[in-house]
Structure 1
């Protein structure tokens, strides 16, 4: 049964009807090639904190993307029917999310990440029946958090980070988690589309703390800065 999301979703859903990849990144998604993958952009709501988004942090010991924040998700399996199936399966495997607790609302434009050659479809969903989640594979996922939108848009929690490569992009420092790169870029765009963003000091730029091997992000970045690493 399809669950009607709350009214605060309406502006975002209306804007997504005409969204293009260019709204998220200047990098053009190729017509073919690249490894298909999907991530779950899961928005929920708690009575005392309002809307929130589910984000995980990769384990610092991973060979690739160590310590990085991410939406639940990963590469498509042959048995996955579509991007929605991939996103929900990966979220179940990574954090124990019950697919029956989720109402999928939309698929965002496919975004290409050249450094890994992944073509990622972000899948927007409403968490109509929230339940506890946790890292199912601690060797891969170190932490899972529901980050309130009110804290994400707080100007005190916003900044841009500078990668050693010279890349600069949006970031959020919320509840002990530094969210940057692809994930922060998608969140930043969705906050703007939903009408939730607040003015914040874009001149606040900090160097990205070193955590393992950290490749430069290449999608969901600030348009003015992305050209620096193209």
Structure 2
């Protein structure tokens, strides 16, 4: 919590901005209350200078346990989509708008709970810092939470997905979160739409 009483990660940012120092500092972030129940901070992974930054919502159950983004079922959908869209993983930095797992308990199970606007805002300094350090050419916005963090609350993924829009010096392309493919009544159709959006993103890279 910041000195003015508002939830924010800003005071936890290191003086020196590089991916190593950011990751180390984020491990101790208490900028909102999500750290209390989560196992750990799950920070972004990938090279500085990656051409593509992919931004999801938050870590899931497996990501929280393993400490890496997109290692659960949605990550496998994403890996398949990237490969089929021609996006090399070494050209990708993966992260989430919120760095701690938000969940409710049902017996022994931990059920994903969508982050609140306050939690998204509290985590924004980490995402802004990652963008500043990585300087991607293309930002792939995965789902509504990431869209709110990066493109504003008025942006609607359902209406504006697959269309390149400017984001600072980069180009952003929004699509559904890969977990939405898994939840869709027609997974094949949902995946084809997801893949089409990734192909648009792949085409935005400067040659």
Tell me whether the two structures share a fold, i.e. TM-score over 0.5. Answer: no
Q: Which structure has greater helix proportion?
A: 2
When normalised by structure 1's length, the TM-score is: 0.27
Q: Which structure has greater strand proportion?
A: 1
When normalised by structure 2's length, the TM-score is: 0.29
